[in-house]
Amino acid sequence: MNAQKVTIADVAKRAGVSKGLVSFALNDRPGVSPETRSRILAVAGDLGWKPSLRARSLSTRRSFALGLVVARNPEVLGSDPFFPSFIAGVESILSNRGQALVLSVVPSEEAEFRSYRQLVDDGRVDGVFLTDLRHDDPRIPLLTELGVPAVTLGRPDGPSPFPAVSIDDTPGIAESVAYLAQLGHRRIAHIAGSSTMLHGSRRREAFDAALRAAGLPAGQTIETDFSVAAGSDATRRLLGQEDAPTAIVYANDPMAIAGLGVAHELGIRVPDELSITGFDDIDFSRYVYPPLTTVSATPVVWGRAAATTLLALIETGTAADVDLPAARLIIRGSAAAPAHTRKSAT
């Protein structure tokens, strides 16, 4: 019999039992003797029966889907490989569990709130991922009110009933600054992400602290929305100054690669006249010229861990926080000693 057409009725007929008994056996419910359950499962296996997700949803009142709502400009999101890599990690877990990911990209916080409410009210998801954490994040009380299981990517700065899957990104920024200082750089700037997001402000604070630890003066910081265009504009502003920095620490790889392009356009050689470091270690960061010195944040691993944690929370009602290995500096070819240091050493 064609496996695609096998139904509970087919299994019941072959096994000589009622459809209700087959349903109980296949869903591992009580009320079926071990011998009968084994016989029904054997018949189902022989016929090639496969569970129907729609039927499972109706019987269990679950959607077998997880939600991810991202409040960013679609153009910005499309230029940042972090989310595709994170989603790939999530899907690698969900696909093996017969589950799906529902993605919603919205333009504002107001639209984000509506999206969460609609997903829950319509029963489209069993749980959600909470990303791009904000200061005193208002989404946490919203999701608590909605009664939906959630996992936060990173630890909130306030109370939260939800498990957190976190990567400490401050060591990576600190190592970037320390490495540049060790090379001899004294004018180090930072092209940061949005200070409304915890990871944007956290990386900026780590940058400032690392400069102090190295005994260097405060560096210039330009805040952006993490986009390629903003990274390019900020780089042009910095390099157009009379006392331009000799090194720039970027809050993500796309902005760093955009900065690399601006430097080439202006005739500034990297790393001979300008050193650049990124963050995230996206796949093509090693294939630009020169290869980008960056910080590894393993978004695919983050996605796998977040999906595993959220599924455990949905299935058991509880899940522990997960701390992934801290982000670390990966040294490639986009950073070197500043020109004046090399000249004085010869």
Do 109 and 148 fall within a single domain? yes
The neighbouring-strand residues paired with 190 are 221, 249
Task: Please name which of 61, 57, 49, 58 lies closest in space to residue 25, comparing C-alpha atoms.
Answer: 49
Q: Are 297 and 172 in contact (CB under 8 A)?
A: yes
Cα gap 340→346, rounded to integer Å: 10
What's the whole-number average pLDDT of the chain? 89
**Per-residue pLDDT averaged across 160-165, rounded?**
96
Q: What is the CATH number of the domain that holds 35?
A: 1.10.260.40
Above 80 in pLDDT, residue 6?
no
Cα–Cα separations (whole angstroms), residue 104 to 87, 89, 113: 12, 17, 11
Do 46 and 93 fall within a single domain? no
Above 60 in pLDDT, residue 159?
yes
Q: Are 294 and 280 in contact (CB under 8 A)?
A: yes
What's the pLDDT score for residue 258? Answer: 96
How sure is the predictor about 10, in pLDDT bands with cuts at 50, 70 and 90? confident
Task: Please name which of 91, 89, 117, 88 lies closest in space to residue 104, comparing C-alpha atoms.
Answer: 117
Give per-residue pLDDT as tens, 111-138.
999 999 999 998 899 999 999 999 999 9
What residue numbers bound the domain in which 156 lies? 65-168+299-326
Q: Which long-range contacts (CB under 8 A, 24 or more apart) does 316-324 make?
A: 319/151, 319/163, 320/163, 321/155, 321/163, 321/164, 321/165, 321/166, 322/163, 322/164, 322/165, 322/166, 323/166, 323/168, 324/165, 324/166, 324/167, 324/298
Q: Are 78 and 64 in contact (CB under 8 A)?
A: no
Kindly report the pTM of this predicted structure.
0.79
| 59 inside domain | no
**Per-residue pLDDT averaged across 237-249, rounded?**
96
| CA–CA–CA angle 50, 51, 57 (5° rounding) | 165
Do 238 and 125 fall within a single domain? no
Cα gap 338→336, rounded to integer Å: 6
What's the pLDDT score for residue 51? Answer: 61
Cα–Cα separations (whole angstroms), residue 202 to 173, 198, 303: 10, 6, 21
What's the pLDDT score for residue 4? Answer: 53
**Per-residue pLDDT averaged across 180-187, rounded?**
97
Do 112 and 216 fall within a single domain? no
What's the pLDDT score for residue 28? Answer: 61
* 222 vs 11 pLDDT, higher one: 222
How sure is the predictor about 24, in pLDDT bands with cuts at 50, 70 and 90? confident
> If you write DSSP's letter for every residue of 4-49 in order, what string do you get?
GG--HHHHHHHHTS-HHHHHHHHTT-SSS-HHHHHHHHHHHHHHT-
* 80 vs 313 pLDDT, higher one: 313
Q: Are 107 and 324 in contact (CB under 8 A)?
A: no
Above 60 in pLDDT, residue 53?
no
Q: To the nearest whole percent, how much of the chain has pLDDT over 70? A: 92
| 281 inside domain | yes
Task: Please name which of 67, 11, 3 lies closest in space to residue 39, comparing C-alpha atoms.
Answer: 11
Cα gap 191→207, rounded to integer Å: 10
| 118 inside domain | yes
Count the Cβ atoms, other than its own, within 10 Å of residue 43: 20
Do 175 and 265 fall within a single domain? yes
Q: What is the CATH number of the domain that holds 121?
A: 3.40.50.2300
Above 90 in pLDDT, residue 90?
yes
> If you write DSSP's letter for every residue of 141-158 in order, what string do you get?
HHHHHHT--EEEES--SS
What's the pLDDT score for residue 204? Answer: 94
Lowest mean pLDDT among 5-9, 118-122, 235-239: 5-9
Do 109 and 181 fall within a single domain? no
Do 156 and 303 fall within a single domain? yes
Domain count, the chain: 3
Do 312 and 236 fall within a single domain? no
Above 60 in pLDDT, residue 109?
yes
**Sheet harboring 275-277: ordered strands across?**
221-223, 188-192, 247-250, 275-277
Cα gap 97→227, rounded to integer Å: 34
Do 147 and 20 fall within a single domain? no
| 60 inside domain | no
Q: To the nearest whole percent, how much of the chain has pLDDT over 90? A: 68
How sure is the predictor about 188, in pLDDT bands with cuts at 50, 70 and 90? very high
Above 90 in pLDDT, residue 237?
yes
Give per-residue pLDDT as tens, 250-300.
999 999 999 999 999 999 999 999 999 999 998 889 999 999 999 998 899
What is the DSSP code (8-state) at residue 289? S
Structure tokens at 253: 């790889």
| 135 inside domain | yes
The H or E element containing residue 87 is helix 82-94
Do 17 and 125 fall within a single domain? no
Lowest mean pLDDT among 45-54, 215-224, 246-255, 321-330: 45-54
Do 159 and 303 fall within a single domain? yes
Do 78 and 151 fall within a single domain? yes
Measured in degrees and rounded to the nearest 5, phi and psi for residue 103 equal: -105, 135
